[in-house]
């Protein structure tokens, strides 16, 4: 998904292996991912997409934390994309969740950080559900039904 404030930016969906860069998009209040070499295109991630950063991830601090320093490094290089604050349409939703449970809005990441898409979330395949059972699956199902009948008779 792409944050609400990126609706005026050209977008495309993420693919496994995409080389991305965190960036501030022109004429928006948002940061997000752009393909390496295409700074004016936002790459939209589906919730559950996993990314790995090349180096320590740096986030820009906000609020009270600014009195101490401007940026902070995160401990992890791998993160899973998710959306937060969905019930509030006027705020940023795109975020990364790290293995320790910490959630950071994409718009708080320092611009210019390279990352790669590791994997996309699993999508159910309609074709798989429609495929007929194999002979072995039919025999296994029949054997289970027969076993169940025998168990209820005894």
Return the percentage of the chain with pLDDT > 70, whole number: 68
Band of residue 136 on the pLDDT scale cut at 50, 70, 90:
low
What are the helix (H) ranges across the chain? 126-130, 135-153
Among 73-87, 96-110, 121-135, name the one with the lowest average pLDDT: 121-135
pLDDT at 54 (0 to 100): 94
**What is the distance, to the nearest Å, from the Cα of residue 42 to the centroid of all Cα atoms in its chain?**
14
Answer yes or no: are the C-beta atoms of 28 and 5 closer than 8 Å: yes
- Is residue 103's pLDDT more than 60? yes
Token pair in block for residue 54: 């090349």
Strand, coil or helix: 2: coil
Residues 13-17 have a mean pLDDT of: 95
Residues 68-86 have a mean pLDDT of: 78
Distance from C-alpha of 43 to C-alpha of 47, rounded to nearest angstrom: 13
CA-to-CA dists, residue 106 to 58, 110, 122, 125, angstroms: 11, 9, 22, 30
Band of residue 135 on the pLDDT scale cut at 50, 70, 90:
low
- Is residue 119's pLDDT more than 90? yes
């Amino acid at each position: 998904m792409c944050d609400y404030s990126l609706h005026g930016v050209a977008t495309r969906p993420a693919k496994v292996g995409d080389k991305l860069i965190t960036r501030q998009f022109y004429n928006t209040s948002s940061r997000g991912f752009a393909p390496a070499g295409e700074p004016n295109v936002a790459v939209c991630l589906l919730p559950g997409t996993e990314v790995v950063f090349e180096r320590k991830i740096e986030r820009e601090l906000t609020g009270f934390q600014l009195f101490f320093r401007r940026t902070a490094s995160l401990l992890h290089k791998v993160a899973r994309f998710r959306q937060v604050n969905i019930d509030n349409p006027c705020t940023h939703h795109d975020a990364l969740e790290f293995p320790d449970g910490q959630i950071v809005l994409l718009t708080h990441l320092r611009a210019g950080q390279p990352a790669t898409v590791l994997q996309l979330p699993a999508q159910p395949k309609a074709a798989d559900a429609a495929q007929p059972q194999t002979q072995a699956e039919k025999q296994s199902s029949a054997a289970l039904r027969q076993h169940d009948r025998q168990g209820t008779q005894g």
